[in-house]
Structure 1
Amino acid sequence: MKTIILLAFCALAASAYALEEADRVNGENGWYVPQLDGTFEWVDMDVAEEWMEQQELLESRGLTTVPVKFYLYTSSNPTKGKKITASTKSIDASHFNAAHPTRFVIHGWTQSYTASMNKDIRAAWLSHGDYNVIVVDWARARSVDYATSVMAVAATGKKVAKMINFLHSDHGMSLDSLYVIGHSLGAHVAGYAGKNTDGQVHTIIGLDPALPLFSYNKPNKRLSSDDAHYVESIQTNGGTLGFLKPIGKGAFYPNGGKTQPGCPLDVTGACSHGRSTTYYAEAVREDNFGTIKCHDYEAAVAKDCGSTYSSVRMGADTNAYMVAGDFYVPVNSKAPFGMIH
């Protein structure tokens, strides 16, 4: 059944009625949907949205499974994750400590909990002391077909919310110090987690939230600035794999947000897209990304925000209390990427 639906989607994508190339605007009247081989297939927005509505019906009927696993890392087990479930027996047998702040980390398409972004981000947080770092592994991210992974985002986010609710209600985890950090499709999973928690998540960090098959004008179906007390977006491949329009209450645009230095011949955008995770891990570790406040996101993209640094650092722990608006972030082409030491 699933194969037939995917073939139908591909047939629709290649429809003779698709918009002419000159008329296509990624994210506005359709999407360039990434394929596993690094190529893109154009799909008109009305065609894709009709297909997604049909898929949502199948998902809501429980005809597809959405396996989600959780791995806990702490200063007692910083490199070997302990698989945990939403049960008292499991949590009691782990190093989870409700007195310490908790960080959920969620990977994107094709990845797993062993992805380098998870290692980098958890190591960065644990370098500062005691945290519960819970890395989420969602199997549907590894669907061969990107669209199938997109359809699992909402249900995956609800499962993450279920774990958050359990840790909060049964084990005393504070929502006031909770961060949910997601990359690409994982950023939207984080958004759905925030939409479904009992009480408000403190902070969500969206690392280049995925653009293909997500509409800016449908914030209820993507990560939006209302999904937590504070939402920060670090946008590095805007207009291709990630959003260019601001997603977070604080929206940060390294190198203008479209492409990143040190990513030559980045035809698919994968290098620039992945930079968001590298920058964030470094920001947590070093707090070294100075920013320039912009009048709006267009100015950030045009790098037309002047040269006066603001007091705000991208990815800083204090941003939730003081940050709103769009920021241009100068970056280096190799590590350290942040320009303030």
Structure 2
Amino acid sequence: MNDDDELMTSFHSGQLHANAASVPDGLCWVSILSCLLLACSYVGSLYVWKSDLPRDHPAVIKRRFTSVLIVSALSPVFVWAWKEFTGIQTGPSLLALMGIRLEGLIPAIILPLLLTMVLFLGPLIHLAMDCPWGFMDGIKVVVDPCFWSLCLSDMRWLRNQVVAPLTEELVFRACMLPMLVPCAGPSTAIFTCPLFFGVAHFHHVIELLRFRQGTVSGIFLSAVFQFSYTAVFGAYTAFIFIRTGHLVGPVLCHSFCNYMGFPAVSTALDHPHRLTILSFYILGVVLFFLLIFSMTDPLFYGFPTPVCTLTSTPGSICS
């Protein structure tokens, strides 16, 4: 190692120690409480409107749009207040930390979504086999303005494909991860952040019980399954956010997964072409794990990603 290399190594080592030393006492408690308050604000905003109507009623959806969009618009204030209170020094701007930036935007739009589609290769093949339309018919529908007009006029479609992915990823990933990474490090934050996301979905239990949509045991089993699924999904989108440093990737993946739903494995097992479909299920999972690091390489998106600059121990997740 020459003198220049030793100098650079010493400089980076000194920077890391300086960053570690600048972490204030009680940071983790402040970060966790801030995330908890943010999660409660998001879920609480859904219930400020008193109504006897079910959650899928257009009037309920519209009112909830209003409250949840207000909370989401104010969510960066939580991050700013956390930053000011803890005294954390950040190089990137607040918007950059939240994944709102131009550098690496095109790869961030394309690659994470492609990776997620690879994971859903089996369900996509299953869907294509059962679809009554030909390929060209599907293209015609996609480019038809009337199709999109119908979608945009459907409150449930707007909720599931636009508002929920955008607001949930903004609140539960873009705002929470910058607060958790300095305390826990990127790897731990990836698995901590989804817990807030999973617990936030337990509010569906209240509505199911309220409208008696199933037995009590069935509702709670469904809630446990949903918590597990959303926690795993939340870890995946948190991984994408940290690796790419962009909000758009998690939002698009979230919207896509909402459209696809949980893979219908039982239906695939009963399908006349089940061997073909199951082969694509397995192929998709294998390819997903082979490609997950290469398709989310931070070099595509601007290295290092902003959120990774908040920790002195970035680890392999950030490189």
TM-score, normalised via structure 2 length: 0.28
TM-score (norm 1): 0.27
Q: Name the structure, 1 or 2, with higher relative contact order (CA <8 Å, separation 6+).
A: 2
Higher gyration radius (CA):
2
When you count helix as a share of all residues, which structure comes out higher?
2
